[in-house]
Copies of this chain bind each other. A is one copy, B any other.
Amino acid sequence: MAEKWKTSITYIEPNKILLRGYRVDELMGKITFPEAVYLALRGELPSEGEGKVIDAILVSSVDHGITAPSTLVARTLATTGVPLTTALAGGVSAVNRFHGGAIEGCMRYLYDAAKEMDGGKSATEAAADLLERLKKDGVRMPGFGHRVHTCDPRSVKLFQIAEEAGVKGKFTDLAGAVEAQLEIGLGKKLPINVDGAIAVVLCEMGFPPETGNAFFAMSRIVGMTAHYFEEISRYKPMRRIDQENWEYDGPQERKPGGR
């Protein structure tokens, strides 16, 4: 008999399920889903502030309309008659290097540069060195700039929430220094986008880069579900889903109000 392999995530026995040692039924109603995300991935419960930051991350990327490739994929699959989860799977797989996947790439570079700060460099020096290395390799810094937004409102808000939650440190400094250096190098602003901002706060909380893209996937799977349902409810199968020639007919801008 081969040696048993080991896993430390979940323990199961009849009528008992332990996630990282906690009974799932005792977690329900006691911790929030964003806190459960932290627990599952890191093995321990987060601080209250960390839970709020993850919550904001997950809200930030729920949807960005049909122009996102993941959503186009999910909605095109919907029109061919696949089950919901097949459409979601296609869309999730689109979260990669150039789409959402900027999170993982950005985290890797930030961790590298942070090591140089640990070795005594300033954030500005570490940022300048990083950008020079990327330039030499002909690679763009992931997580900065956006096809549509010149100043991504989601990034601004995420940093504000993180600051209030005490999730702010050298990675935030580093991101600011990268922005400043990019502006010097390019002669124009290339502000951090939502992927970049998510990468920064995930680094502040110590998440490994290998798990970074999951946050985008967890969030965007919600929007993809909405698009799947809208597609099969409003349209006939095998429709050509045009990313240009559409128009929004939802509610006008409104405020979340007294909540």
A interface residues (Cβ-Cβ under 8 A, vs B): 1-2, 4-34, 36-37, 40-41, 43, 45, 52, 55-56, 58-60, 62-67, 69-70, 72-73, 76-77, 79-86, 88-90, 92-101, 104, 147-154, 156-158, 160-161, 208, 210-211, 213-214, 217-219, 221-223, 225-230, 232-235, 237-256, 259
- A59 contact set on B, CB distance < 8 A: 24, 27-29, 31-33, 36
Q: Are A65 and B249 in contact (CB under 8 A)?
A: no
Residues B89 and A90 in contact, CB atoms below 8 Å apart: yes
CA distance A219 to B89 in the complex (A): 14
Q: Give the residue among A10, A104, A153, A157 with the most B Cβ atoms within 10 A.
A: A10
B33, B82, B230, B252: which contacts A34 (Cβ < 8 A)?
A: B33
A26: chain B residues within 8 A (beta carbon): 157, 255-256
**Central interface residue in A67, A72, A85, A225, by most chain B CB within 10 Å:** A85
> B84 to A93, Cβ gap below 8 A?
no
Q: Please report the C-alpha to C-alpha distance between residue A248 and residue B22 in the assembled complex, in whole angstroms.
A: 14
CA distance A239 to B221 in the complex (A): 21
Which chain B residues border A6 with CB–CB below 8 Å?
Answer: 234, 246-249
Number of chain copies forming the complex: 4
Q: Is the CB of B81 within 8 A of A96?
A: yes
Give bound CA distance, A241 to B6, whole Å: 11
Further contacts, 19 of them, CB under 8 A, given A6-B247, A9-B63, A10-B63: A1-B245, A4-B246, A6-B234, A7-B66, A7-B230, A9-B223, A9-B230, A9-B250, A20-B250, A22-B253, A29-B55, A29-B160, A36-B59, A40-B62, A41-B229, A45-B256, A97-B237, A218-B222, A242-B242
How many Å lie between the Cα of A152 and that of B16 in the bound state?
8
Which chain B residue has the least Cβ–Cβ distance from A34? B33
Find out whether the CB atom of A226 lies under 8 angstroms from the CB atom of B93. Answer: no
